[in-house]
Structure 1
Amino acid sequence: MNTKIFKLLGATALTLAFAANATAQTRGGTLTTIIQPEPVILTSALNTAAPTGFFSANVFDGLVEYDNDFKLRPALAESWDVSKDSKTLTFHLRKGVKWHDGKPFTSADVKWTLENVWKKIHPRNQIIYGTVTGVDTPDDYTVIIRFSEPSLAVLSSLNSNGAQVLPKHLYEGTDILNNPYNNKPVGTGPFVFKEWSKGNYITLERNPNYWDKSKGVSKPYLDKIIFKVVPDAGARAAALEKGEAQYAPFSPVPLKDAERLAKLPGLKLETRGYDWISPWLFLDVNVDRPYFKDVRVRQALAYAIDLNAFNKVVWYGFGKPAVSPVVSTLKQFHTDDVPKYAYDPKKAEALLDEAGLKRGADGTRLRINLDYLPYGDDYKRSGEYIKQALKRIGIDVNVRAQDTPTYTKRVYGDRDYDLSVVWFAGFADPLVGVTRAYWSDSVGKNIPWSNGSGYRSAEADKLIEQAQSSASQTERVALFKKLQQRVQTDLPSIPLLELHFFTVQASNLRDTVTGVDQIYSSLKNAWFDNTAKVAKAAP
């Protein structure tokens, strides 16, 4: 992480002085938060894009929540049991929970969602629940999931983002992907959907019948949340500075402005709440393109990019050069013992010559397109940086801009692209977030945030499937390390950075972070401390 920002966050540059008696949460108020880009869909059970996940967790609960130590806390499930052979997982559901339309939440909702959504549509859960042989519901509040093989990764992805439950009574018998309730969601969560003015805002209001209470006081504390769509990065910074918005995640402002905003007494930068997602930025290479079938060409791309300079120039130090798709903070699973591609443009040129891609009369070896994730200027500038890096080795790159639906269809459906700059959440277990980028079964199925490169490897598939079914965590760790070595040898995707996201929020907004997955969790605990006094920033 940028050391200047770290000092500002951890020391005296941002000092908050609270009134002595400001200990109890205050009920009321409207929180305006910035969401960018605008979600394509409002239900993360069907689309795991970051904007959808950030919004959706406020409408839908998960079976569990995660605390600040990755430990499980009860949510829709009050308790759970895992059999000794790890092949049976039993959930004991909370009684009295209702969907926002008044219908009771029951085990039938969980069973239907698992069988029809998690196993068939969800880009991450297809592999996690792929070995499910049956789901029993002996009563309305018990769900028994039976696996043919152990599935140790399940417990790491049971929150609203990982295991979002849909209302069976509104989805059964419908075209799930085109169900109108995908965009006017009915959940069990702390806030109720009210309006989506496309291109402008999404409004949620407090759920007066929410099950979660603290010391007899019903949550959530806020009356309303307005998710405001602000496409321009400068406008987002201005809205936060003027107090027109009080909360904005995923590094919402130009990175060069982060230090300035961190010094303002009315704002603070928050880096917690992203631990669960373990984000990494990478360059997907369409290995079905004739010129990218040769691994030497893919290696040349990697050698051509100076990741240290890329991190400093484009990402202002809010990242760390990556050597593997498993980020280094996942110490149990990460390995440095993989093929590495340190910046070496001369070696890149030699590899291209060996592959038969000689420079033409104009010095160009190859002309290709690069599509970047349309999530803001950082990704556009990433594409432009890579364009310049590849130009030095004779590859002419056309950087293309488009909206999110066009981008995802181009990459994951039509596969009409050459290079793609994108980030994935790796999550707490590689089986949840990393293997989807390499598992051949999802290629070309138009499932966003899956195997966009088109990589097909019998060895990689076997390692993934063995890790999926192993009952030994030690064995799973060894398998994931072998997988990292395999994919870094084949290089269908080039890891660029381990990303360090931050949130900008009003300094009197309290309890926005209560777990490692906060960015994909609800704001039911958030409240405005109107008694707070904000000290001036230190010089």
Structure 2
Amino acid sequence: MRTLYKNLAWGLLTASTFGAAYAQAPATPVKGGTVTSVVAQEPTSLVSFLDTKTDNRDVSAKITEGLLRYDAKFQPQPLLATSWTVSPDGLQYRFKLREGVKFHDGRDFSSADVRYSFLTQKKQGPRGRITLQNLERVDTPDAHTAVLVLSKPAPFLLKSLSSAELPIVPAHRYGDGDPLSSPNVNAPVGTGPFIFEQWVRGSHVILKRNPNYWRPGVPHVDRVVIRFVRDPAAISAAIETGEADVAQNLALADLGRLLQKPNLKLDASYDAFLNNASFLEFNVENPVLAKPEVRHAIAHAVDRNFIVNNVYYKQAELVNSPIPKVLGAYYDDSQFNYGFDVARANQLLDTAGYPRQANGQRFALKLTYIPGAQFKQSAEYLRSALNRVGIKVDILDGDLPTFLKRAYTSREFDLNLNGLGRLFDPSVGVQRIYWSDGIKNPLIWINASHYNNPQVDNLFRQAAVEVDEAKRAAQFREIQQIVGRDLPVYPIATVPSALRVHSTRVHGLNNSIDLTSGDFSDLWLEASK
């Protein structure tokens, strides 16, 4: 077997790797203290085992670990796996597991937990049909060796093994029953630096320091409190008054005022693992929206710069392709040419056979949006923008479960303003946006538009197993050219979900490429002056 990484030193992963924002930190971390973080959305589960929603990931990764973690350049680093090899044909991944690791309930971590976690996620996880679609079995020759055996290559697999993406859960907590009914969903037991202590619904989660963590000397803080506050203005107030040490999802309009305070600092690091973006998804089963020229017209009617400048206060960037620009070898935005042009939008709608009626309207559409202050504001802008070209838009509000039902089950929408992670590889993050398998086998976060193009499906299938990088890049570029013309989904803007304001007393906030889904093991709180 060809050795890729072996016995990499933990020292390769340091706070300095993640930018100059923490370069001025005192050399010696302070032990103890409680860090309070305020976020807007409450998780639906405290382990991202079968639901990788961002809010779930952010808590889960502090409790439950994956096989690997990644530095700022996306190089894999040891976590529950200490070394790994990949066979020359790309069909076997052999992991040497860390010895002496225990779950928070005192049970030993072993290869049986790796096998259960991977096979269950392949069967029921939201990315199981893509990330793990080629996983045939998991061999466990001994307690500290796990071998992933694939039927076909998966060139993205080594980038998918983070704590938030593919967490390793304790098999004994799940047994043979339905994993979604396990007590581990709401009171997780993991191997990570923090132990779950309490979840008060609608209020907060408390995590406490794991005194027996396998990595010596960490975590530094005694306790992490994660509070859920729906009102962005209240989040801003919490960080301003010192009730919180870290604030996420705060009102962007408040940034200027907050950053004038000498005791506060902005962490605007870009999350190159999730690559979150907002998309306008068209329900192509609606006869009106089934016409590409109508979808093109709607794209021309939307001033995306208005959203970037006024909804995200210039803390976002336009997205001109579903594939993230940071994946430069795969990127092609040549067919996403839908500049803001109201005259062109009107012309296309007239040509499509939808002239304005006596009341000035052409037709009406129902718009759903994923919960969040910026998504709500974007939805309100879309209603106004489309009204200018004669399209009446009714906005359907609701909480997250209501949104998910409307978008993926009952399909009670015509336009869907969604936030999706494009992730670290197009086969994992982008394929699901267009994958026709999501029509006959519905799952949340997969193909809400019900787009069905066999050519696109086939290109994604080829790219998912292609080990020649040049060929793979060409396949992804062709996909972008097709979906850019068809436009079942219109990219809008990046979503700065990792944007956080924190006290200058907070150090070591980021220690992995996935930022908010890091484990807080290196987090520490400077003593009050």
Query: Could you state the TM-score of these two structures normalised by the residue count of structure 1?
Result: 0.91
Alpha-carbon distance in 2 for matches of 1:477, 1:470: 10
Alpha-carbon distance in 1 for matches of 2:390, 2:123: 43
The count of aligned residue pairs is 510
Letter of the structure 2 residue corresponding to residue 89 of structure 1: Y
Q: Which residue of 2 aligns with 1:537?
A: none
Q: Which residue of 1 aligns with 2:292?
A: 295
Question: Could you tell me how far 1:527 is from its partner in structure 2?
Answer: 0.2
153, 160, 165: which one aligns with 1:162: 165
Letter of the structure 2 residue corresponding to residue 157 of structure 1: S
Measured against aligned partners, the alpha-carbon deviations of 1:181-234 in whole angstroms (never above 9, x if no partner) come to 211111111111111110111111111111112xxx2x1111111110111111
Q: Which residue of 2 aligns with 1:269?
A: 266
Query: SS of the counterpart of 1:202?
Result: strand
Q: Which residue of 2 aligns with 1:499?
A: 495
Measured against aligned partners, the alpha-carbon deviations of 1:208-263 in whole angstroms (never above 9, x if no partner) come to 111112xxx2x1111111110111111100000011011123xx221111122122
Q: Which residue of 1 aligns with 2:16?
A: none
Question: Could you tell me how far 1:273 is from its partner in structure 2?
Answer: 5.7
441, 459, 463: which one aligns with 2:459: 463
Question: Could you tell me how far 1:121 is from its partner in structure 2?
Answer: 2.1
- Answering whether residue 349 of structure 2 is matched by residue 356 of structure 1, we say no
Q: Which residue of 1 aligns with 2:225?
A: 226
Measured against aligned partners, the alpha-carbon deviations of 1:367-421 in whole angstroms (never above 9, x if no partner) come to 111111112x211100001111100111111112111111112111221211111
Alpha-carbon distance in 2 for matches of 1:435, 1:99: 34
Question: Could you tell me how far 1:125 is from its partner in structure 2?
Answer: 3.6
Structure 1: gaps spanning 5 or more residues: 1-9, 534-539
Measured against aligned partners, the alpha-carbon deviations of 1:98-142 in whole angstroms (never above 9, x if no partner) come to 11111111111111121122x122222421211122221101111
- Answering whether residue 215 of structure 2 is matched by residue 238 of structure 1, we say no
Q: Which residue of 2 aligns with 1:128?
A: 131
Q: Which residue of 2 aligns with 1:347?
A: 344
Question: Could you tell me how far 1:445 is from its partner in structure 2?
Answer: 4.5
Alpha-carbon distance in 1 for matches of 2:300, 2:340: 5
| Higher RCO, Cα 8 Å, sep 6+ | 1
Letter of the structure 2 residue corresponding to residue 102 of structure 1: G
Letter of the structure 2 residue corresponding to residue 359 of structure 1: R
- Answering whether residue 506 of structure 2 is matched by residue 509 of structure 1, we say yes
Question: Which stretch has the larger CA shift, 353-362 or 443-452?
Answer: 443-452
1:220–1:525 CA contact under 8 A, matched in 2: yes
Q: Which residue of 1 aligns with 2:202?
A: 199
1:317-466 alignment, distance < 5 Å: 317-375=314-372, 377-443=373-439, 445-466=441-462
Alpha-carbon distance in 1 for matches of 2:270, 2:291: 40
Letter of the structure 2 residue corresponding to residue 483 of structure 1: I
Structural RMSD (CA): 1.8
- Would the alpha carbon gap of residues 268 and 189 (structure 1) be closer, same or farther in structure 2, given more than 3 Å must change? same
Question: Could you tell me how far 1:364 is from its partner in structure 2?
Answer: 0.9
Alpha-carbon distance in 2 for matches of 1:15, 1:207: 24
Q: Which residue of 2 aligns with 1:176?
A: 179
Letter of the structure 2 residue corresponding to residue 414 of structure 1: S
1:414–1:444 CA contact under 8 A, matched in 2: no
Alpha-carbon distance in 1 for matches of 2:215, 2:443: 34
Question: Could you tell me how far 1:39 is from its partner in structure 2?
Answer: 1.1
Question: Could you tell me how far 1:444 is from its partner in structure 2?
Answer: 6.4
- Would the alpha carbon gap of residues 426 and 110 (structure 1) be closer, same or farther in structure 2, given more than 3 Å must change? same
Question: Which stretch has the larger CA shift, 34-43 or 58-67?
Answer: 34-43
Alpha-carbon distance in 1 for matches of 2:92, 2:28: 42
Q: Which residue of 2 aligns with 1:101?
A: 105
Question: Could you tell me how far 1:446 is from its partner in structure 2?
Answer: 4.9
1:327–1:498 CA contact under 8 A, matched in 2: no
131, 141, 145: which one aligns with 1:142: 145
Query: Could you state the TM-score of these two structures normalised by the residue count of structure 2?
Result: 0.93
Q: Which residue of 1 aligns with 2:7?
A: none
- Answering whether residue 41 of structure 2 is matched by residue 37 of structure 1, we say yes
Letter of the structure 2 residue corresponding to residue 60 of structure 1: T
2:83–2:96 CA contact under 8 A, matched in 1: yes
Question: Could you tell me how far 1:350 is from its partner in structure 2?
Answer: 1.8
Q: Which residue of 2 aligns with 1:536?
A: none
